[in-house]
Amino acid sequence: MADKNGIWGTGRRKTATARVKLVKGSGKLTVNGKPSEVYFPVESLRTLVNQPLQVTGLEGQFDLTVNVKGGGLSGQAGAVRHGISRALIEHDADLRTVLKQSGMLTRDARKKERNKPGQPGARKRFQFSKR
C-alpha cells in the first residue's frame, strides 16, 4: 500500500509479523526504533534482512522503518525480509521477477507442530512395552 509518506509492505514468518515502510533516503534501517545492528546482533540475520535490496541493486536508496512483533529473532528477520520484498514490488512492479526467482516473495509457512495429547512431544512417543 502506497501513501504520501511512503510505501508499506507486510511480511510474515512463523509467528512473527513485520510492517515495513519504504521512504526515499540514504539506506538507514530502523527496527522497532533501534538501528538494525542493535536489534539483530547476529551478522547472518542482518544479511538475511538486506537480501532483497542487494538482489535488486537498490541498497542505499531507501530508508526503512520496521515494526516487528511475535516470534524470535530468526522468524522476525525472515518476516522483515518478506515485508521489504513486498514493499519493493509496490514501488516497482518490474522487480517482481527478480525477487520471485530468488525466493523472497514466498511466505515460509513452516510453523512449530503442536503437541499431541498423551505424548511427550509433537512426534515423540512414550516407550512401547509389550508386557
Whether 112 is in a domain gets the answer no
Tally of CB atoms within 10 A around 49: 26
Tally of CB atoms within 10 A around 60: 11
Q: How many domains does the chain have?
A: 1
Whether 131 is in a domain gets the answer no
Domain containing residue 22: CATH number: 3.30.230.10
Q: Average model confidence (pLDDT) for the chain? A: 92
Tally of CB atoms within 10 A around 42: 11
pLDDT at 124 (0 to 100): 93
Whether 117 is in a domain gets the answer no
pLDDT at 4 (0 to 100): 67
- Residue-range definition of the domain harbouring residue 68: 2-101
Whether 106 is in a domain gets the answer no
pLDDT in tens, 67-79: 999 999 999 999 9
Q: Take residue 18 and report the three cell numbers written for it.
A: 513485520
Query: Which residue positions in the chain have pLDDT lower than 70?
Result: 1-4
Pairing of strands 2-3, 6-13: antiparallel
